[in-house]
């Protein structure tokens, strides 16, 4: 499967930026955490909107590469199942095409809720495996590359997010997948 061209990557990032920003409130624009954000390619495009942007990434090589090339972004090595950030400190948490990689998606959602401020925004961008492109990506990742990714269809992810105490859970479609948008409820315990 061919990689995205530089032009396609920029167009995709611009589309995601527009969609993500359309779901933010002013209160959510303090600190943004990008869970599974790789080298920060998308995150850097949002650095002008937030007071601070941080990528959480388990791959040390990606953390080192991003830290050298994207000074406006902070990098932390870690996983979604144990986010090394103080509870209630993040205004916006984004995860782009990474949720299907999380070994324990339920623990990851609990951690995301823990680190978000009350009324903080959760935006999960995922690949829609009900489409031809999504089916090809799932096949490539799990069969050809030997992965064990757990892709969810949009309704499954909406339901899963709602079961973890998030409110106002909704769906937005993109040209390459979908976004689940949710808010951390005010009464959630950290």
Q: Is the pLDDT of residue 3 over 70?
A: no
Whether 154 and 128 have beta carbons less than 8 Å apart is answered as: yes
Q: Higher model confidence: residue 21 or residue 58? A: 58
Q: Summarize the confidence of residues 90-119 as an average pLDDT.
A: 94
User: Is 29 buried (19+), middle (13-18) or exposed (0-12) by CB count in 10 A?
Assistant: middle
Which is nearest to 23 in space by CA: 120, 111, 99, 158?
120
Best-predicted range by mean pLDDT (43-47, 85-89, 148-152, 183-187): 85-89
Q: Is the pLDDT of residue 46 over 60?
A: yes
CA angle 45/51/52 to nearest 5° reads 70
Assigned token pair, 34: 């990008």
Can you list the domains of the chain with their CATH numbers? 6-126+153-184 (3.40.50.150)
Whether 91 and 121 have beta carbons less than 8 Å apart is answered as: yes
Q: pTM of this prediction? A: 0.86
Percent of the chain predicted with pLDDT > 70:
85
């Amino acid at each position: 499967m061919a990689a995205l061209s530089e032009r396609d990557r920029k167009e995709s990032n611009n589309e995601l930026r527009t969609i993500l920003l359309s779901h933010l409130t002013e209160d959510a624009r303090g600190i943004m955490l990008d869970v599974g954000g790789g080298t920060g390619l998308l995150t850097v495009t949002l650095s002008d909107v937030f007071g601070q942007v941080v990528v959480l990434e388990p791959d040390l090589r990606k953390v080192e590469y991003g830290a050298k090339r994207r000074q406006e972004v902070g990098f932390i090595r870690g996983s979604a199942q144990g986010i090394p950030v103080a509870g209630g400190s993040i205004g916006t948490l984004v995860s782009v095409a990474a949720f299907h990689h999380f070994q324990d998606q339920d623990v990851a959602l609990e951690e995301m809720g823990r680190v978000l401020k009350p009324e903080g925004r959760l935006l999960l961008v995922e690949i829609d495996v009900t489409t031809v492109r999504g089916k090809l990506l799932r096949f490539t990742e799990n069969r050809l590359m030997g992965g064990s990714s757990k892709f969810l269809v949009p309704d499954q992810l909406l339901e899963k997010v709602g079961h973890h105490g998030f409110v106002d859970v909704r769906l937005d479609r993109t040209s390459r997948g979908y976004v689940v948008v949710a808010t951390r409820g005010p009464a959630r315990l950290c």
